[in-house]
Amino acid sequence: MKIAFLTDPLDEFKIYKDTTFAMMREAAKRGHELYTFEPQDMAYAGGEVVAQIRRIRLTGEAVWYQAEVVGEMALTKFDAVLQRKDPPFDMEYVYATYLLELAELAGARVFNKPAAIRSHNEKLSIAQFPQFTAPTIVTRDEARLRRFHAEHGDIILKPLDGMGGAGVFKVGADGLNLGAIIEMLTQNGSRTIMGQRYIPEIKHGDKRVLLIGGKVVPFSLARIPVAGEVRGNLAAGGTGVAQPLTAKESEIASTLAPILAQRGLLLVGCDVIGNYLTEVNVTSPTCFQEITQQTGFDVAAMFIDALERV
């Protein structure tokens, strides 16, 4: 297969933990050809979506890749195009999904499906599965947010477009700084945010549960917060501990997996705290290497197996 990866700059990869690198390594081991491009390399020109493409070879050394400039190619020339650009999910990200969708309409095979990425806000998507969620509110209205706090006491407030735990606040029962936090996150009522009842089981970890091709990876990565933090995200200093799925995590994952796969989401990262689904990550889910290193379960192999089947 010829596989093109839409990525962040390769020189910024931390290959000891990077999931896209794990995908590349497994694909190369099977003899697939690897190509890369970045969002700014794409264009709609001459009636088709093209990109400035580089072919890469993995070296197995500290300088981990060698690149050869191939030049402009239509995305339809590849057997698979993998969207692995990290958020922020800003308008440039959205424009990239539109270009990928145009390529898809011309015959390119894009994963995850661009329209499905746009349709599944990573915070709001949990509202499609209310049987698995803690009490939640989505609004920009300060009065509603204050009533939600009054009802539930300890709550979490967060933006709808954040990543890595950025902009996540816990407000205690005393309501200290509630007004200031609402003003900041909503930008004085001009931006919609999410509130959730605080789940104290976060101390045991914010679990990343991976769904691949409609199937469930049997281990999660519990991102455990550092002392004094309520965010388990690895980017916020959390520690990743792989562990078998609990019965509830298995229930949530097995319910969502076929639904999301049918919608064109080959790879999904569900976040679960305690017994509650808190996010559905579809842009660039991670944690392959941490799970594999700690359990021996080869997540990248499962992913490339699924890619070869579709």
What value does the mean pLDDT take over residues 159-174?
89
Single out the catalytic residue among 231, 233, 249, 290.
Answer: 231
Task: Kindly give, in sequence order, each residue whose CB lies less than 8 Å from that of residue 14, ignoring residues fewer than 6 positions away.
Answer: none
Is 17 an annotated catalytic residue? no
Look at the pTM and tell me if it is higher than 0.75: yes
Confidence of residue 95 (pLDDT cuts 50, 70, 90): very high
Catalytic site residue 109?
A: no
- Residue 165 half-sphere exposure toward CB, CA atoms < 13 A: 17
Burial 38-58 (b: 16+ CB within 10 A, else e): bbeebeeeeeebbbebbbbeb
Q: Tell me: the pLDDT tens digits for 101-122? A: 999 999 999 999 999 999 999 9
**The predicted structure's pLDDT at residue 236:** 62
Handedness of CA 196, 138, 192, 188 (dihedral sign): negative
* pLDDT for 226: 81
Q: Confidence band (pLDDT; 50, 70, 90) for 229?
A: confident
What is the average pLDDT score of the chain?
A: 96
pLDDT digits (tens, 9 = 90+) for 52-80: 999 999 999 999 999 999 999 999 999 99
Kindly name the residue from 26, 223, 249, 290 that is annotated as catalytic.
223
pLDDT band at 166 (very low <50, low <70, confident <90, very high): confident
**Between vectors from CA 40 to CA 45 and to CA 54, what angle results, nearest 5°?**
90
> Is residue 201 annotated as part of the catalytic site, yes or no?
no
Q: Report pLDDT for 87.
A: 87
The CA-based diameter of the chain, rounded to the nearest angstrom, is 61
- In this prediction, residues 237-257 reach a mean pLDDT of 95
Catalytic residue among 208, 233, 249, 290: 208
pLDDT digit string, tens, across residues 125-150: 999 999 999 999 999 999 999 999 99
Q: Closest Cα partner for 84 from 303, 305, 250?
A: 303
- Predicted confidence at residue 231, as pLDDT, reads 66
Give the model confidence (pLDDT) of 180-191 as tens digits.
999 999 999 999
> Any catalytic annotation for residue 55?
no
Helix axes 178-186, 142-152, angle to 10 degrees: 140
Write the pLDDT tens digit of every residue in 267-287: 999 999 999 999 999 999 999
